[in-house]
Amino acid sequence: MTPDSRWKPSVTVAAVIERGGRYLLVEERTGDGLRLNNPAGHLEPGESLLQAVVREVLEESACVFTPSHLVGVYLARLPREDAATTYLRFAFAGSVGGPEPGRTLDEGIVRTLWLTPAEIDASRERHRSALLWRCVQDHRQGRRYPLELLTTTGSIGAEP
């Protein structure tokens, strides 16, 4: 097997943001219609995991995210029409300020929503994946791991 032919999962980051008993979600356009998700996205070349989650939350919610803990690391194989894709998701807990004035949401993001756990549970048919509800449940169960678990080495920039 050559190095280029090895299987590689898609590395993603997600934010689990709770305020006053409600969780910040985004409603986004997908090939399957409008779906709900945690603010989330792919790790980009040269980024640390923390840099990626801060960037993704800003792009999808227009809010600056301050990560405080790691909620969990999830490996999920999601079926698609043409094939299955495997995701390795790093979910972070933290807080956000208000939306930055004049900042537009990322392409495909329709709006942000603050939903209760009951509302999130009741809307499962609209979840982008089962990871949304799993991350919220893990957060509600108190799963919090120190950010110091993550180590970034090499030429990647300083953590936010």
Write out the chain's pLDDT in tens, 160 residues: 565 667 788 999 999 999 999 999 999 999 989 999 999 999 999 999 999 999 999 999 999 999 999 999 999 987 766 667 899 999 999 999 999 999 999 999 999 999 999 999 999 999 999 999 999 999 999 999 999 999 988 755 554 5
State the pairing for strand pair 10-19/22-30: antiparallel
Rg, C-alpha atoms of the chain: 16
The 10 Å Cβ neighbour count of residue 13 is 27
Q: How far apart are CA 91 and CA 17, in angstroms?
A: 10
Nearest to 81 by CA among 31, 40, 125: 31
pTM of the entire predicted model: 0.89
Max distance between CA atoms of the chain, in angstroms, equals 51
Domains and CATH numbers, the chain: 9-146 (3.90.79.10)
